Amino acid sequence: MTAVLFDFSGTLFRVESCESWLRAVLDEAELTFEGPELVRTARALEEVGALPGGAPPARLPDEVAGLWEIRDRSAELHRSAYTTLSRQVPLPDPALHDALYERHMTPAAWAPYPDAAEVLRTLYERGVGVGVVSNIGWDLRPVFRAHGLDAYVDAYVLSYEHGVQKPDPRLFALACAALGADPKDVLMVGDSRHADGGAAALGCGVHFVDHLPVTRRPDALLPVIGLLDRTD
């Protein structure tokens, strides 16, 4: 194995809860919701799938369905999809919908899984190339820098920068090329069998983890090191 590709959301990092997300934006706007109202509104935002990296929509409105399928191909499509979903939930100021979208792109909205640093550092120390391949509509590099993980990543291949999204094999091919690695010697690690499983079409190995809260998934990435040991 000469390189490992990782998904971002639900694999290396997890976004904050809807309640934390909403509370941070309300605090910034100097607005206060009573406890039950905050919980109720956060739950409504979660149900409509307004938080990128959070739960998907329980039901897609007809006007968003087509957009949803291609949302990760550009920054504009991504923002439009998620703010359209958010606007299904009434908020005291319409500007809060854009503020919520802006919040989710900040490093403070994301936490690395407990074993992410250890696994990335081990790969780096062993000379294994590391790439991040993500379906996303914004630049996640500042998140890695803020959490001290950027030094272990050799390449970022982000869907919105290429107009291609997983499971399209072209995105994985770009990552392999950026790392100078033969796909047959590359492992893709992700939480989506549909999206991340697309790497198998190139001949990459695939390894899946569950998209769980950070506190409930302390060591799911560690087997990646074991897989590396078996190929040494």
Q: According to the model, what pLDDT value does residue 232 have?
A: 59
Mean pLDDT of the chain: 96
pLDDT digits (tens, 9 = 90+) for 59-94: 999 989 999 999 999 999 999 999 999 999 999 999
140 has a pLDDT exceeding 80:
yes
Task: Please name the residues in contact with 167: beta carbons below 8 A apart, sequence gap of 6 or more.
Answer: 194, 195, 196, 197, 198, 199, 201
Kindly report the pTM of this predicted structure: 0.96
The number of helices, as runs of H, and strands, as runs of E, in the chain is 10, 7
pLDDT digits (tens, 9 = 90+) for 95-109: 999 999 999 999 999
Q: How far is CA 80 from the centre of its chain?
A: 17
**Matching residue, tokens 């934006």:** 25
Q: How far is CA 178 from CA 144, 171, 172, 183, in A?
A: 18, 11, 10, 11
